[in-house]
Structure 1
Amino acid sequence: METHIKWIITAILVLGIGSYFAYSQTKPLHTELLEVKEQTVAQEFKEEGIVTSSLEQPIFSEISGKIVKMHVKEGQKVKKGEVLAEIEAKDLEFQLRQLQAQLESIKGQEKQAYKSPYSAQVKQQQLMIEETKRQLEIGKNNYEKIKSLYDSGAVSKQELDDAENKVKQLENALLQQEQALKLIEEQAEPMPGTSQYYKGLRESVNEQIAHLEYLLSSKKIMAPVDAVIKELSVKEGAMVTPQTPLMTLSDDNNLEVEVYLLTEDVINVKEGMIVELIQKRKNGDYSFKGQVKSIAPAAEEKISALGLTEQKVKVTVVPDQKESPELRPGYALDVVFTTLVQENKLAVPKVVLFPTENGGDAVWVVKNGKAKMQEVKTGMETDELVVIEEGLKAGDLVIKNPQLEGLKVGKAVQQSNK
């Protein structure tokens, strides 16, 4: 009886194991399946760029002195002509007063160099000349009248000759008086070169005065353009010289992004190329467009994050003003360069591929609910996708995980619940 029961139990176990084995062989695998579709595939790479200003201008003082007032602070926006700082200039003001007094002294010395006693004689002689000129004009008019009367026979030849002689006498008198005036002026002139001497003195002092006035006008440091105070190099109360940088201005209306690319990457970058700029944010990254403005003609040595020396080329990108968020110099942005685009291509994630025994590539596809190994010919690759040139068609279902346990040719496969 006991032997009979043992046989029954053994039979039940064998039947159960066989049934389980048979079920496990026919039970479908549940996994994620991907439908093959045509899509646009882009080959791209990404580098970090830094926002800079196209205009970064250091500001210097043209005079030495103490900063008595600093009107701005870092990050402040200023307008062209706005006062940035004021510098004390007492020494220059004292020098200016000295030169102005010196100029007045020169003018006084120049006056003394000319002989004043002759001024009355000069005036008297000038009056005589004016009177003679007046008489000569009357004589000429009278001569013309008499000549007209003579031509008509109203007066004698003697009267015409008398009128003509009168004009000649007045002309001779005028000539003598003008020569007399010239003689008086020559006698009143100072020594040769005196005029040039005092003229040179005046011009020299005037040039010094003009220079000091220019420097004094520079004691108020003005903003040369509309800009932002990027950095203050000195504080109020500091002593400065013309070689001391006071601050640096940047133009936030003309921002650029500088990014350094490896020499092998920059080959595929061209001026005018549209790029994607990404600003990282806590609530999600913000993406906007930019355009390559320029590519440096030579590479520079840069140290990588791993401490390696690399040859990199500076590329300057201009953000799209309409799309760009509020940016400031120093902000970091990711710059995405798209170097190759293929449209309407069948592409799958690179993770679905696995190597074949003959060195090719293959994927697992599901047809009629069964797994099938399909060899493929690949094309362009990106970081995540690979283009399938041959072996697949649109609508095919591909198993995402080629290492799935239990996966083999002919195995039943179903889409897992997502």
Structure 2
Amino acid sequence: MQKVITIFKNHKKKTVGLIIAALFMMGASQVLGSRDNKPIIVVTGKVIEDKFEQSVFATGTIEVKGQKEIFAKISSPVVEIAVEAGQKVKAGQVILRQEADDLVLKVAETQAAFDGRQSELISLQSNLKTGQSELMLVTKDYERKKALYELGAVSLQELELAEKSILLEEEKVRLLNEAKIPLLKAQIAEGQVALERAKDALNKAVVTSPIDGTILSLPVKENHPVQMGTLLASVGNLLEMQIETGINEVDAADLQIGNEVEITSEGILSEPSRGVIEYIAPIAQLERTSQGDQTQVKVRVSVGAKEDFKLKPGYSVNMKIILIQKDKAVLVPYEAVTQRDGKDIVFSVDNEGKVIAKEIQLGLSSALFFEVISGVSPDDKVVLNPTEGINDGVRVKVNDKN
């Protein structure tokens, strides 16, 4: 009897245990089920159809193209400034004069010495002609006396004197031809060089504009001493501007001469100015920037300016270099694109909050958008920054703030 009771108790315990386990599994199943059915909160963006451009952004400083800097060629104080900064000038117009009293005296002395040698040369050349005429006369006299000597009409002494006269005149002519005149001509040539140098030095005291343009700077003052090599003035054409900048090696690979550039300057320009890339350096160089050392390619942008152009040399500007433009393209936010199994995917959300995975074919890209060749349509709503939990068929709730 006792054995039967024990068996019954054991059976009862097993039954209660099975019931408790079943209830636990049912509860867990409900809990898990409730979790699976809970929608995931997401932020979405919209696929749009709009104009598209692929651009590179950079900063730079406005410069005058072909700016000419004029440096002092002599050490001498400035005695007169004939223009002022901002004034328009013509090529050859006087900008300033430096003191030149010593140079004027040097030119006068050199000119006098040159003129004196010229006069001396004329005199020697005249003497040469006279000597050549005299040589002809004594030669004829010798020939006449020689004939008379053979007839016994003159003495040997007279003949020898006539011969000596020839030798004397020949020596005079030879000395003029081979020594005095060549030496004087060489001195005159040297004098000519010295005179040109003196005049050139004097001319350097008068500083003129090398081009038509505007005086950009005049960093000197009247009566102040100036050393050779000092910057006297800079001149440039304010209607021909440029910007030189460095583009990182990745972006520079897509640049081409002729790319259009939009130029902006906050607070100065109400609408962008236009420019065009006119030069791309053939090599890249390591440059120190505010973001550290970068490998950059130098680029020069030509800027067309007008009389009322608001950007002045030295102004900092922002540039958008336009690589490609399309009037119409399907665009998806950059954050919506992810990769699954090596494929480009976006997750669109239908009106019932259900996720639909869509494989897409990408085209160009910008800082904010990808161009989509196929796979989505304008006005599709797509999940931004999808997590691993976002998959095809998952239910989501769109954040009301989006």
Q: TM-score range by the shorter chain?
A: 0.5 to 0.7
Counterpart of 1:273 in structure 2 is 259
1:309-348 equivalences in 2 (<5 Å): 309-321=293-305, 325-341=309-325, 344-348=328-332
Deviation at 1:243, TM superposition (A): 2.8
**1:82 partnered with 2:93:** yes
Q: Is the 8 A contact 2:121 2:185 kept in 1?
A: no
- Aligned in 2, Cα 1:101/1:258: closer, same or farther, shift over 3 Å? closer
Q: Is the 8 A contact 1:67 1:238 kept in 2?
A: yes
SS at match of 1:393: coil
Aligned residue identity for 2:293: T
1:6-405 equivalences in 2 (<5 Å): 36-103=47-114, 105-106=116-117, 191-192=175-176, 193-281=179-267, 285-306=270-291, 308-321=292-305, 325-341=309-325, 344-350=328-334, 353=336, 360-366=345-351, 370-378=352-360, 379-380=362-363, 381-388=365-372, 392-396=376-380
**In angstroms, what is the RMSD of aligned CA positions?**
4.5
Deviation at 1:220, TM superposition (A): 1.2
User: Aligned partners of 1:277 and 1:106: how far apart in 2?
Assistant: 66
Deviation at 1:187, TM superposition (A): 10
- Aligned in 2, Cα 1:285/1:373: closer, same or farther, shift over 3 Å? farther
SS at match of 2:54: strand
Deviations 1:163-191 (A, max 9, x none): xxxxxxxxxxxxxxxxxxx9999799694
SS at match of 1:81: coil
Counterpart of 1:149 in structure 2 is none
Deviation at 1:83, TM superposition (A): 0.9
User: Aligned partners of 1:44 and 1:297: how far apart in 2?
Assistant: 21
SS at match of 2:52: strand
User: Aligned partners of 2:253 and 2:339: how far apart in 1?
Assistant: 34
User: Aligned partners of 1:190 and 1:196: how far apart in 2?
Assistant: 11
Deviation at 1:398, TM superposition (A): 6.5
User: Aligned partners of 2:226 and 2:307: how far apart in 1?
Assistant: 42
Say how many residue pairs are matched: 316
User: Aligned partners of 1:273 and 1:324: how far apart in 2?
Assistant: 25
User: Aligned partners of 2:126 and 2:370: how far apart in 1?
Assistant: 105
User: Normalising by structure 2, what TM-score?
Assistant: 0.63
Q: Is the 8 A contact 2:277 2:300 kept in 1?
A: yes
Aligned residue identity for 2:243: V
Deviation at 1:261, TM superposition (A): 0.4
Aligned residue identity for 1:231: S
User: Normalising by structure 1, what TM-score?
Assistant: 0.61
% identical equivalent positions: 21
Structure 2 gap segments, 5+ residues each? 1-42, 137-165, 388-393
- Aligned in 2, Cα 1:216/1:342: closer, same or farther, shift over 3 Å? closer
- Aligned in 2, Cα 1:105/1:248: closer, same or farther, shift over 3 Å? same
SS at match of 2:251: helix
Deviation at 1:263, TM superposition (A): 0.5
Deviation at 1:343, TM superposition (A): 5.8
Deviations 1:377-406 (A, max 9, x none): 343443222345555434556699999xxx
Q: Is the 8 A contact 2:46 2:333 kept in 1?
A: no
- Aligned in 2, Cα 1:206/1:384: closer, same or farther, shift over 3 Å? closer
- Aligned in 2, Cα 1:266/1:183: closer, same or farther, shift over 3 Å? same
User: Aligned partners of 2:398 and 2:211: how far apart in 1?
Assistant: 74
Q: Is the 8 A contact 2:79 2:97 kept in 1?
A: yes
Structure 1 gap segments, 5+ residues each? 1-31, 126-181
Counterpart of 1:23 in structure 2 is none
Q: Is the 8 A contact 2:79 2:223 kept in 1?
A: yes
SS at match of 2:286: strand
User: Aligned partners of 1:354 and 1:214: how far apart in 2?
Assistant: 72
Aligned residue identity for 1:255: M
Q: Is the 8 A contact 2:259 2:323 kept in 1?
A: no
Q: Is the 8 A contact 1:279 1:334 kept in 2?
A: yes
User: Aligned partners of 2:340 and 2:121: how far apart in 1?
Assistant: 111
SS at match of 1:80: coil
SS at match of 1:296: strand
